[in-house]
Chains A and B, each alone.
Chain A
């Protein structure tokens, strides 16, 4: 199957997003923001629709739109400190509203389903370069701000007192989430993208290890799930997003069962 160029492109993108999604996902989950990831994933559909309507690269327009929505969430967070879920409803209404209006009016002249469910057939060389550039940029930013991000995630107030520019880093992080979502939507699809962001971390958290080990495990779990999801979906002729989401949940359940079994054996 690797004789097909679309499969080569899809495979490289899958490897990239299997690193990027759990890294960004780890910070989102630990900050209890996994629903923000879900909301932004859905809001990226508005960007895709705008891109398809105007004839631009939908990955780029998804990145721009999701970034705007990510920053909007950060701004609204200062107005609704105790009602984070309310902000997500506002953003979801606006973004999905835009997407539905454009798609239903027939202005998005391409198959939107590709971005809803994910597809490996439509990945071009141009998409690969776009994803590669955004992924490398995101990983560089994470490497640069890694310690500040860990600090803010653990103790935001303590980070402020220590002189970390928390607001600035939160905005940078919103852009990172947007970049991660936009590079992933083509392969995984908007609908189940949050499973890729949250589930590897949810699984790795069950292992009760330190930060770096948990992060390494979530990358490993994500890599296994995405690559096997891609291969299975190729042979099943199904959308890779759905298969990957199912595999992610199965892996989580297996790890929970394994940990329970280990605990039970230890008690005996």
Chain B
């Protein structure tokens, strides 16, 4: 479970808070999509949950034992990096000191990528690469999966496949999911809850209430969202 209470965060060179009085509880088995405009604090909140930064004020309790992380696809990948899918996953397994050598093959099976284990990561399509990152995150049976815009830069068919995988991991493997999203349709279709951030403040709601609560209010009643 993650329990965030009265959390504030500001970067050291800024006087204003990026996150203002955040309160949220993430229970085991939840699938939470974090939505909001650019600069609303989504990535900052994710980094705090991933323990890459510490809050300026307030508390953040995280009792998940192992966190699997799927980075944003085109953010940091060097496509010329000489590494095969198997090497990438095996290196992760060894770094985490996981003794079960089969877990690499099992992770590739979960994402239907066993046939690509000897392919260079840089030669894969966007969707295939994202599946490899999900497989990497699943090594060592994490209890929390954090994804940073899992569908960015991926074609529509692959997006459906990827969200199907994430949903499957959430339901069948009972892994809690927190996904920073720009994809409203995916958030509405798959999440158990949506956490909406605006100007550093957030509110949790059910997907079915999201349009009513936020989109209408922020557009003065007009709904102009393509789903």
Chain A interface (Cβ < 8 Å from any Cβ of B) = 30, 147-148, 150-151, 154-155, 157-164, 204-205, 208-214
Contact flag A161-B50 (CB < 8 Å), given A151-B91, A155-B71, A210-B120: yes
Given A161-B50, A208-B120, A154 and B83 contact (CB-CB distance below 8 Å)? yes
- Across the interface, do A205 and B95 meet the contact criterion of CB distance under 8 Å? no
CB distance from A12 to the nearest CB of B (A): 30
CA distance A94 to B83 in the complex (A): 37
Q: A154-B83, A205-B80, A211-B84 in contact; A160/B95 too (CB < 8 A)? A: no
Is B52 close to A, CB under 8 A? yes
Q: A208–B81 Cα gap in the complex (Å)?
A: 9
The interface residues of chain A lying within 8 Å CB-to-CB of B50 are 161
* Distance in Å: Cβ of B42 to nearest Cβ of chain A: 16
Residue B163 CB within 8 A of the other chain = no
Q: Given that A161-B50, A161-B69 are known contacts, is A151 also in contact with B92, CB under 8 Å in the complex?
A: yes
Does B96 sit at the interface, judged by CB under 8 A? Answer: yes
Closest 3 CB pairs of A and B: A210-B84, A214-B82, A147-B94
B45 vs chain A, min Cβ distance (A) = 15
Write out the residue numbers on chain A whose beta carbons fall within 8 Å of the beta carbon of B69. 158, 161-162
Can you sample 25 A-B contacts with CB below 8 Å?
A30-B78, A30-B81, A147-B95, A148-B95, A150-B87, A151-B91, A154-B78, A154-B83, A155-B76, A161-B51, A161-B67, A162-B92, A162-B95, A163-B96, A164-B95, A205-B82, A208-B120, A209-B120, A210-B82, A210-B84, A211-B82, A211-B83, A211-B84, A212-B87, A213-B82
**A36 to B121 Cα, complex, angstroms:** 26
Q: Are B52 and A154 in contact (CB under 8 A)?
A: no
**B76 in contact with A211 (CB, 8 Å):** no
Q: How far is the CA of A159 from the CA of B92 in the complex (A)?
A: 9
104-131 of chain B: CB within 8 A of chain A: 118, 120
Is B2 an interface residue when CB atoms closer than 8 A count as contact?
A: no
Indicate whether B211 reaches chain A with its CB closer than 8 angstroms: no
- B88 interface residue, CB < 8 Å from A? yes
Q: Shortest CB–CB separation between residue A194 and chain B, in angstroms?
A: 20
Known: A164-B95, A211-B82. 20 other contacts (CB 8 A): A147-B94, A150-B91, A151-B91, A151-B92, A151-B95, A154-B78, A154-B83, A155-B71, A157-B71, A157-B76, A158-B69, A161-B50, A161-B67, A162-B69, A208-B82, A210-B82, A210-B83, A210-B87, A213-B82, A214-B82
- Bound complex: CA of A213 vs CA of B87, how far in Å? 11
CB <8 Å contact, A154 and B71: no
Taking the closest CB of chain A, its distance from the CB of B22, in whole angstroms, is 20
On chain B, the residues within 8 Å of A163 by CB distance are 96
Kindly supply a per-residue 1/0 record for chain B positions 63-104, scoring 1 wherever the CB is within 8 Å of any chain A CB and 0 otherwise.
Answer: 000010101000010101111100110011011100000000
